[in-house]
Amino acid sequence: MRKCRIYDKQFKIIRDVKYIDYRNKEVMYYTDEIEGNEKWSNLDIVRGFDEVNIMWSTGLKDKNGVEIYEGDILVDYNGYEAQYNKVKWSDKYCTWMIEGDFDIEFLRDFARHCSFEVIGNIYENSELLDEVEE
Residues 69-106 have pLDDT tens digits of 999 999 887 777 888 889 999 999 899 998 876 566 88
Strands 95-100 and 81-90 turn out to be antiparallel
Q: Are residues 48 and 64 in the same domain?
A: no
Task: Looking at the structure, tell me whether residues 39 and 100 fall in a common domain.
Answer: no
11-59 confidence digits (pLDDT tens): 899 999 999 999 999 999 987 766 556 665 667 889 999 999 999 999 9
Residue 1 confidence (pLDDT) above 60? no
Q: Are residues 86 and 101 in the same domain?
A: yes
- Statement: residue 134 has pLDDT above 60: no
Q: How far apart are CA 127 and CA 40, in angstroms?
A: 28
Beta bridge partners of 28: 19, 46
Using the predicted structure, report yes or no on whether residue 118 has a pLDDT greater than 90.
yes
Residues 33, 87, single domain; the answer is no
**Domain enclosing residue 20, as ranges:** 4-53
Q: Same structural domain for residues 63 and 44?
A: no
Question: What is the spatial distance between Cα 58 and Cα 28, in angstroms, rounded to a whole number?
Answer: 21
Beta-carbon contacts of residue 72 (< 8 Å; ≥ 6 apart):
55, 86, 87, 118, 120, 121, 122
